[in-house]
Chain A
Amino acid sequence: MHNSQHSSESEQQELERVENLRQVNIQLAQAQQIAHIGSWQWDVAENKINWSDELYRINGLSKNAFTPEYESYLNCSHPDDRELVNQTMQKAYVNHQPFSFLHRIIRPDGEERFIHSRGEVFTDDKKATIKMTGTAQDVTEEKQAALHLVQLNKQLLERNNELLRSNTELASFSYVASHDLQEPLRKIKAFLSRILDKEEQIFSSTTKDYFNRITTAASRMQNLIEALLSYSRTNTSEIDFKPTDLNILIEEVLLNLQDTIEEKRAIITLAPLPVLNIIPLQFHQLLTNIISNAIKYSRLDMQLQINITAVIIAAKEIKTEPALANEKYWKISIADNGIGFEQQYEHKIFELFQRLHGKSEYTGTGIGLAICKKIMQNHSGFINATGQPGIGATFNIYLPLIAL
Chain B
Amino acid sequence: MYNKKILLVDDDADDQLLFMDAVQEVDMMLQCEIANNGIEALHHLHKMPPPPVIIFLDLNMPLMNGFECLETIRKEKRFSGIPVIIFTTSNNPADHERAKKLGANDFFTKTADFKELKAKLHQFLKTES
Tell whether, in the assembled complex, residue B89 and residue A190 are in contact, meaning their CB atoms are under 8 Å apart. no
Q: Is B105 an interface residue (CB 8 A)?
A: no
Query: Which residues from B are CB-within-8-Å of A193?
Result: 112-115
Q: Is A187 an interface residue (CB 8 A)?
A: yes
CB distance from A344 to the nearest CB of B (A): 40
Known pairs A194-B18, A194-B21; A186 contacts B114 (CB<8 A): no
Query: Which residues from B are CB-within-8-Å of A222?
Result: 112
Question: What are 20 A-B contacts defined by CB distance under 8 Å?
Answer: A183-B89, A185-B112, A186-B89, A186-B111, A187-B15, A187-B112, A189-B112, A189-B113, A190-B14, A190-B111, A190-B113, A190-B114, A190-B117, A191-B18, A193-B112, A193-B115, A194-B18, A194-B114, A197-B114, A222-B112
Q: Is B100 an interface residue (CB 8 A)?
A: no
> Taking CB as reference atom, which chain A residue is nearest B93?
A237
CB distance from A188 to the nearest CB of B (A): 8
Across the interface, B14 reaches (CB within 8 A) one of A182, A185, A187, A197, namely A187
Residues of B23-64 at the interface with A, using a CB-CB cut-off of 8 Å, are none
Tell whether, in the assembled complex, residue B21 and residue A186 are in contact, meaning their CB atoms are under 8 Å apart. no
Residues of chain A at interface, number, CB under 8 A = 12
Q: Is B110 an interface residue (CB 8 A)?
A: yes
A193 to B21, CA, bound (A): 12
Query: Which residues from A are CB-within-8-Å of B112?
Result: 185-187, 189-190, 193, 222
Tell whether, in the assembled complex, residue A182 and residue B89 are in contact, meaning their CB atoms are under 8 Å apart. yes
Residues of A162-188 at the interface with B, using a CB-CB cut-off of 8 Å, are 182-183, 185-187
Query: Which residues from B are CB-within-8-Å of A182?
Result: 89
Given contacts A186-B89, A191-B18, 20 further A-B contacts (CB under 8 A): A183-B89, A185-B112, A186-B110, A186-B111, A186-B112, A187-B18, A189-B112, A189-B113, A190-B14, A190-B111, A190-B112, A190-B113, A191-B14, A193-B113, A193-B114, A193-B115, A194-B18, A194-B114, A197-B114, A222-B112
A197 to B118, CA, bound (A): 13
CB distance from A34 to the nearest CB of B (A): 70
Query: Which residues from B are CB-within-8-Å of A185?
Result: 112
Query: Which residues from A are CB-within-8-Å of B110?
Result: 186
A197 to B117, CA, bound (A): 14
Residues of B53-88 at the interface with A, using a CB-CB cut-off of 8 Å, are none
> Taking CB as reference atom, which chain B residue is nearest A180?
B89
10 tightest A-B contacts by CB? A189-B112, A186-B112, A187-B14, A193-B114, A190-B112, A190-B18, A190-B114, A194-B114, A183-B89, A186-B110
